[in-house]
Chain A
Amino acid sequence: MRGACLMGSVVFALRCVNAAGEMPLGNVVPSAARHWSFQAPRERPVPVVKDTQWPLNAVDAFILAGLEHEELSPSPPADKRTLIRRATYDLTGLPPTPAETDAFVRDESPEAFARVVDRLLASPRYGERWGRHWLDVARYADTTGPRLGRIPFSYTYRDWVIRAFNEDLPYDAFLLKQLAADKLPGARSEDLAALGFLTVGRKSNRDTIHDIIDDWIDVVSRGTMGLSVNCARCHDHKFDPVSTQDYYALYGVFLNTQARQDLPVIGSGPGNEIDRRYDKQIAAQQDALLKYKQKRLAEITADLRKPARIAAYLLAAAGIRPGAPGSGGGGGEDEEINPFVLRRWRALLDRAAEKRDPYWQPWLSLTSLPGQAEKAMALGDRYASELAAADSPAPHTDPNKEALRRVLRGSEAPTDISLDNYAEVQNPASDQEKLENTAMLVNALGARYADAGGQPRAMAVEDAPVLRPAHVFLRGNPESIGEEVPRHFLTVLEGGKPAPFTEGSGRLELARRIANADNPLTARVMVNRVWQHHFGAGLVRTPSDFGTRGDAPTHPELLDFLARQFVADGWSLKKLHRLLMLSRTWQQASTDNPSCRNVDPENRLLWRMNRQRMDFESFRDSVLAVSGQLDPTAGGPPVPLFAQPSMRRRTVYGLIDRAQLPAALRSFDFANPEQHSPQRYLTTVPQQALFLMNDPFMAEQAQAFATRREVAEEQSPAARIQVMHRLVLGRSATDDEQLLALHFMAKQPEGSDQSPPPQTTPWQYGFGNYDAKSGKLESFQPFRVFVAANQQMTLLASTFPVFTEVWQAGNMLPDAKAGFANLSASGGEPGGPGYAVVRRWVAPADGTAQITGNVSHKVSGEFSDGIRAWVVSSRAGQLGSWPVANKTADANVKDVQVKAGDTIDFIVDCGTTAFGDEFTWAPVITLAGGDRDRNKHGTVSDASKEFRGPPAVMLTPWEQFALVLLQSNEFVFVD
């Protein structure tokens, strides 16, 4: 339905008007241009304070001046343990080790703390922490959102951000590269990864180019300048000095920016087999899609040249459409007037009118009169048949006939649609589906390739080869085209006279105007973001809204001072961290002071440090650090976060799925990646506690913590408690705490054990090499890892990606040896040759088993040579064999005699190649006979219904104590 693209239509007009407000008229609010944030940060003298002893640096003078004005006094300094814990969390998102804490406490030199800060800033963990803050801004995720699946090389952007923080890439260069690395002189291939800032955004199957551009404008304007520009998509911004002209000036920049289809390889290593296969498959897909588009375009344009269609468009262009009665019911595709084609017909007639083209004069004069519908219909038919009769792919020699032919053929002809405009005329149902399926497949192929160790590639953008002018869309409606707008920067930041961009799309010029000391917003917005993460609240508490509707800064002079200092320090974030953290303000205690709280309950003036609660990433990473399990490996394709045993990498490397954000991330207020996220919410809900009480991750980590070497090697319980306290809380346990803990450990639960009966299951999951000739399965190995929600994209171009629980060989899928081998409730996928997947059933009793089920493989031959499935009994050998390729086979075996403990294996291997081998097969076994069978119909084992993860472990008292420590408020809050 064309309407899907028309959505930004009439209703759009009113869309952005403030809820209570009236429709804004005319141009932008003039007084808004005088708003503080649009004025350059001024040079602010460091204030004179009464207590001249207190300030350690300029930051302190500004803060103290504010406090003194309200007759408040700052808090005393935090103790050293608190300070190093706070600093370590702030900069790395991890706890200090007991040794680090002790060393700092012992170091009495005046530079002790500065040394801690420098050490932390030099740690690679710093970039993982602060890079993640930026990824919130950049709405980072590893999937597109609904339907289209994985963004195959999203991780190269994530890793670029982390590296940029670690290397202290100056913030102006940081922005320049993210907006225009491809256009920067001397840019290296790894810099292209920075362009993921644009391309990792949300995409849905229903998005139009306008929506993608809208997303880019939003992330750029709110993310870098704290300015909401998107309201101006439909009308001049009601509150801020941003006009629709401005919006479409930026729109023009991004209209002429396109995501690269050939993702450039980062670095210059020689490609491997995976790379070559990827290139081949992607090229094949793109080639097939191109051919499909060409074929469809030929069909569509042929249809548009039919007399009936020509007549219909002529009438529609004249505002006359034949009445419907008797015309055969509702309109389908054939009857539809395509707005894009209609626009081209109108343009043709406009040109004809302008040139006073004699051929069109009769039509133009007739349709300029009212009430001529019937005559127009007749005349339209005549034009239509005449034009259609003259139509031919080849030129005519007769100049008159050739002129007629040129109406329907040639670049300006309304019925000659170029490939660039294919999307405008495609069938919105079937053709769109083809596009989507190809996109899904290309994404899935890319993700497979990336995960399997293909070379990293940049999600780069480039300028369009042919620049297109942008027009204002009246009321945001792309069908309603207003005046042309040159590409330029925001008027209010250009002194009211924006200079048109001249180099290509203008993206580099845009980037230079943003990443610029003269931009009054950029430096302020970033220092405020940094301040917010250090202090728990920004100087401006609406960090992505510096417009007139945003909060005013609590300390405007300080904000100006910091912005200027930031620029003067070469846009160095590490220098900024140092400045803030070495202030006495940041080093204050967070303890309460009722007299100050009475005056300033929100602590806007910073009479103390704000206590902060760890975000989800800090919490999860800290648990891993405390348990001794943290795997410091940096970078690379995302790993599923929730698995058993757990992924031990830092959370920033976990897979972020827009379409299905894991429940734990959601309940812990993770940034919603659907849009730019200004700051995290901070809610307290019982689901958070449930995660800490019941999630397998916590049980596993409690076990690891209680048994880690430092704990286990302590002989006495008291000493062990001390070590655990120091590891979790950075301090020793008090006598009371020790007593309490000993009491907890000593007292065994009384009464009967209320534990649930152990789960028993007849099913096992693993892999091995099956030799079909001998009918022997060699080396059955159980799968080791159970992933709660397997977010691998399936190659099956089904309607929706499937998210299931799977068993797999290692933490990563693919595994270094077993490849993509995995089993789920409904099916699975074999690894490469020699790595068949095996779903094993162990007979619980003697009897006769009936096996039913069907094996289904639905990936076409261009990707897969199919799979081979077998049922093999430990007693009777191979019971059946089903080679399946892109079809379904019944896999039933009757009357299999088994003794208790016998196994029946359901084996699938890949044939000769392991690509595209997902299958479904969930056998059902009915066992009858034997002594223990009381049910004459037999006991049913259903592979799908009985699919289970690993059995739960029972925690020892020490492990339970470890769990409680990890749950404690003292661990989770940073004073």
Chain B
Amino acid sequence: MNKTNPLISRRQALWRSGMGMGGLGLAGVLRSLGMEQETETTGLPQSPLAIRKPHFAAKAKRVIHLFMNGGPSQLDSFDPKPLLKKWAGKPIPVNFRTERKTGTAFPSPFSFKKHGQSGLEVSELFPHTAEMADELCVIRSMQTDLPNHEPSLMMMNCGDVRLVRPSMGSWVTYALGSENRNLPGFVVLCPNGYPVQGTENWRSGFLPGAFQGNCIDTSHTDVAKLIDDIKHNFSTPRDQQRQLALLAAMNRAHQATRREDPAIEARIQAFELAARMQLEAVDAFDISREPAHIRESYGDTVHGRQTLIARRLIERGVRFVQVYHGSTIPWDSHANLESDHRNLARAADQPIGALLKDLKQRGLLDETLVIWGGEFGRTPVVELPSGGDGKGTGRDHNPYGFTMWLAGGGVKPGHIHGATDEFGYQATESPVHVHDLHATMLHLLGFDHEKLTFRYAGRDFRLTDVHGKVVNEIIA
């Protein structure tokens, strides 16, 4: 029998009886990692979202992932390859297996310019983002395993191309809890439907359901449609207060002979939190409360609105916000890349530039890690239209080398890491696999990715599985 010091065991007992009984031993796992909640007054004594300490002190506290799903072209955004002009229309000497049939070199139709003190090169597609060039840490040597959307979205989100694994947002929320118990800890914003692979992109897998992403269709402007059951429709607010007061009185009387049971206290507090959540969630999603100049800077578009919501959520302590460009795979420019990428970037760029500026001005950028990118990049060679002699106008998928950028959260600003070959096909210098990105993200949040584990089916699982190296070169 484990006879522990009663003073120490009290908090442990809270966890054990709360989470361990009848449920999996989350408490035990957290405890073994030294991840106890910080204080009992921050919220529910056994809430899965209670704030937990990282393994070590870290700058980044929250993450915004701007997911350009479909795969934006690195060659037309942040990885200029002037050599492609010389090879235009000719076969290039670099050859990889692609999803579809490809042809000759396809130089970027867009011009690049150096920006800021850092002289970072950004294409004309991203003028607003370019204004914040000195904040960006561009990784030009990203790699993933496969040239298909579904497995690559799974890799980017869950660290595995196919097996049922929790998403990174779930891992981060499991690791750190959330600073705002009145909102979900992990929020996914996506207008008009789901990305490819649907809810699996933000699943909690074997982690408790409380860590799963809450997906919100940002095409709605009505807050009541954004979060389930957030609005009380059946009586007046005053009546609802009276109901809650009566409930609290009954619950306190019931609790009088059950004081030792943290689950009972937790459920009492859950109602108090829910009542606050009704107000706070409405507030968080109501961008009309922003001053006009802020709203204008993001733009009155669905992308402007959802990016501004992302900032409002982060500001309120939500741990992980993932913003999808749109449903399915909007950035998948197999054809008409010039006009498609131009339109896509026009929608995405202004809100992104505004977000970076806004976070910076509010002093939030330092502790917010912003991640931008797709599930893979695109080929430097043209994709040939199937069944015809037509001239290609797009690029195929490219998992061999692509670009993502990070900003804030303790990464080197105005920095470029790694490089692709001279055509921009494959990462040749300091390749960074998605597993490495995950390891680095966890490091920036204060975690050793090898020690952030969860015991399931007899094994300690982690986001990076058995892979992942922290990319120290990009850490400030």
Q: Give me the interface of A with B, judged by CB distance under 8 Å.
A: 1, 3-4, 7-8, 11, 14-20, 70, 145-146, 202, 204-207, 211, 218, 222, 228, 230-231, 239-240, 324-334, 336, 428-429, 532, 536-537, 541-542, 544-545, 547-550, 591-592, 594, 597-603, 605, 610-613, 659-661, 663-664, 666-667, 669-670, 672, 674-675, 678-696, 699, 736-737, 740-741, 744, 747, 749-751, 753-756, 799-800, 952-955, 960-961, 963-964, 967-970, 972-973
Contacts of B194 in A (CB 8 A): 800
Task: Check if B116 is an interface residue, CB within 8 A of chain A.
Answer: no
Q: Which of B35-66 contact A (CB under 8 A)?
A: 44, 46-49
| Inter-subunit contact B22/A674 (CB<8 Å) | no
Contacts of B239 in A (CB 8 A): 749, 955, 960
Contacts of A600 in B (CB 8 A): 1
Q: Which of A8, A591, A967 has the most CB of B within 10 A?
A: A967
Contacts of A683 in B (CB 8 A): 19, 23, 46-48, 208-210
- Of chain A, the residue at the smallest CB distance from B104 is A329
| Inter-subunit contact A689/B210 (CB<8 Å) | no
Q: Closest 7 interchain pairs by CB?
A: A332-B101, A324-B95, A682-B23, A689-B274, A952-B233, A330-B102, A684-B266
Task: Check if B391 is an interface residue, CB within 8 A of chain A.
Answer: no
Task: Give the dominant DSSP class at A's interface.
Answer: loop
| Inter-subunit contact B102/A332 (CB<8 Å) | yes
| Inter-subunit contact A954/B22 (CB<8 Å) | no
Task: Check if B12 is an interface residue, CB within 8 A of chain A.
Answer: yes
Contacts of B26 in A (CB 8 A): 681
- Of chain B, the residue at the smallest CB distance from A615 is B22
Least CB distance from A456 to B in Å reads: 29
Least CB distance from A960 to B in Å reads: 5
1/0 per residue B345-363: CB within 8 Å of A?
Answer: 0000000000000000000
Contacts of A550 in B (CB 8 A): 458
| Inter-subunit contact B24/A684 (CB<8 Å) | no
Contacts of A687 in B (CB 8 A): 184, 228-229, 274
Contacts of A670 in B (CB 8 A): 209
Contacts of A603 in B (CB 8 A): 17, 21
Complex Cα distance A660/B144, Å? Answer: 27
| Inter-subunit contact A954/B234 (CB<8 Å) | yes
| Inter-subunit contact B146/A970 (CB<8 Å) | no
Listed stretches B196-204, B289-297, B410-418; interface member: B196-204
A679 CB contact (under 8 Å) in B16, B23, B264, B271: B23
Complex Cα distance A175/B209, Å? Answer: 29
Q: Which of B226-284 contact A (CB under 8 A)?
A: 228-240, 242-244, 246-247, 249-251, 253-255, 257-261, 263-264, 266-271, 273-275, 277-278
| Inter-subunit contact A969/B267 (CB<8 Å) | yes
**Number of B residues with CB within 8 Å of any CB on chain A:** 126
Listed stretches B119-127, B133-141, B147-155; interface member: B147-155
Complex Cα distance A969/B267, Å? Answer: 7
Least CB distance from B50 to A in Å reads: 10
Q: Given contacts A15-B465, A800-B193, is CB(A967)–CB(B271) below 8 Å?
A: yes
For this complex, 14 residue pairs linking A to B, each with C-beta atoms less than 8 Å apart, are A4-B150, A4-B151, A591-B257, A592-B261, A600-B1, A682-B19, A682-B263, A683-B19, A683-B48, A690-B278, A694-B278, A699-B233, A753-B236, A973-B258
| Inter-subunit contact A672/B204 (CB<8 Å) | yes
Complex Cα distance A88/B182, Å? Answer: 35
| Inter-subunit contact B49/A685 (CB<8 Å) | yes
- Of chain B, the residue at the smallest CB distance from A547 is B458
A681 CB contact (under 8 Å) in B23, B236, B263, B264: B23
Contacts of B458 in A (CB 8 A): 228, 231, 239-240, 542, 545, 547-550
Least CB distance from B330 to A in Å reads: 13
Q: Give me the interface of B with A, judged by CB distance under 8 Å.
A: 1, 3-4, 6, 9, 12-13, 16-26, 44, 46-49, 91-105, 145-148, 150-151, 161-162, 164, 181-182, 184, 193-194, 197-200, 203-206, 208-210, 212, 214, 228-240, 242-244, 246-247, 249-251, 253-255, 257-261, 263-264, 266-271, 273-275, 277-278, 328, 379, 381-382, 384, 396, 450-451, 453, 455, 457-462, 465-467
Complex Cα distance A601/B92, Å? Answer: 69
Least CB distance from B267 to A in Å reads: 6
| Inter-subunit contact A3/B6 (CB<8 Å) | no
B254 CB contact (under 8 Å) in A741, A953, A970: A970
| Inter-subunit contact A429/B208 (CB<8 Å) | no
| Inter-subunit contact A969/B99 (CB<8 Å) | no
A545 CB contact (under 8 Å) in B12, B257, B259, B457: B457
| Inter-subunit contact B235/A329 (CB<8 Å) | no
| Inter-subunit contact B460/A690 (CB<8 Å) | no
Least CB distance from B329 to A in Å reads: 10
Least CB distance from B130 to A in Å reads: 30
| Inter-subunit contact B235/A682 (CB<8 Å) | no
| Known A330-B396, A336-B97, A601-B17; 13 more pairs at CB < 8 Å | A4-B146, A7-B162, A328-B104, A329-B91, A542-B25, A661-B199, A675-B164, A684-B47, A684-B263, A689-B274, A800-B193, A955-B235, A960-B239
Q: Which of B9, B247, B259 has the most CB of A within 10 A?
A: B247
Complex Cα distance A736/B254, Å? Answer: 13
B91 CB contact (under 8 Å) in A328, A599, A692: A328
| Inter-subunit contact B23/A964 (CB<8 Å) | no
| Inter-subunit contact B234/A11 (CB<8 Å) | no
A19 CB contact (under 8 Å) in B146, B268, B460: B460
A329 CB contact (under 8 Å) in B20, B47, B102, B212: B102
Least CB distance from B232 to A in Å reads: 5
Contacts of A952 in B (CB 8 A): 233-234
B228 CB contact (under 8 Å) in A690, A749, A800: A690
Contacts of A17 in B (CB 8 A): 466
- Of chain A, the residue at the smallest CB distance from B398 is A330
| Inter-subunit contact A967/B145 (CB<8 Å) | no
Complex Cα distance A18/B453, Å? Answer: 10
Least CB distance from A161 to B in Å reads: 22
B206 CB contact (under 8 Å) in A329, A675, A953: A675
Least CB distance from B220 to A in Å reads: 10
| Inter-subunit contact A330/B98 (CB<8 Å) | yes
Least CB distance from A223 to B in Å reads: 11
Complex Cα distance A695/B13, Å? Answer: 33
Contacts of B21 in A (CB 8 A): 536-537, 602-603, 610, 682
Contacts of A747 in B (CB 8 A): 242
Least CB distance from B184 to A in Å reads: 8
Complex Cα distance A740/B396, Å? Answer: 70
Complex Cα distance A450/B204, Å? Answer: 32
Complex Cα distance A666/B257, Å? Answer: 31
| Inter-subunit contact A679/B267 (CB<8 Å) | no
Least CB distance from B334 to A in Å reads: 11
Complex Cα distance A603/B261, Å? Answer: 12
Complex Cα distance A664/B230, Å? Answer: 12
| Inter-subunit contact A672/B209 (CB<8 Å) | yes
Least CB distance from B14 to A in Å reads: 9
Complex Cα distance A323/B99, Å? Answer: 20
Contacts of B253 in A (CB 8 A): 736-737
Contacts of B44 in A (CB 8 A): 684-685
Q: Given contacts A228-B457, A240-B458, A682-B22, is CB(A611)–CB(B261) below 8 Å?
A: yes
- Of chain B, the residue at the smallest CB distance from A336 is B97
| Inter-subunit contact A694/B24 (CB<8 Å) | no
Contacts of B243 in A (CB 8 A): 693, 960, 963-964, 967
Complex Cα distance A961/B14, Å? Answer: 31
| Inter-subunit contact A755/B236 (CB<8 Å) | yes
Complex Cα distance A126/B198, Å? Answer: 36
Least CB distance from B377 to A in Å reads: 13
- Of chain B, the residue at the smallest CB distance from A740 is B249
Complex Cα distance A752/B10, Å? Answer: 48
Contacts of B203 in A (CB 8 A): 674
Contacts of A751 in B (CB 8 A): 238
Contacts of B246 in A (CB 8 A): 740-741, 744, 961, 964
Complex Cα distance A967/B204, Å? Answer: 27
Contacts of A542 in B (CB 8 A): 25, 458
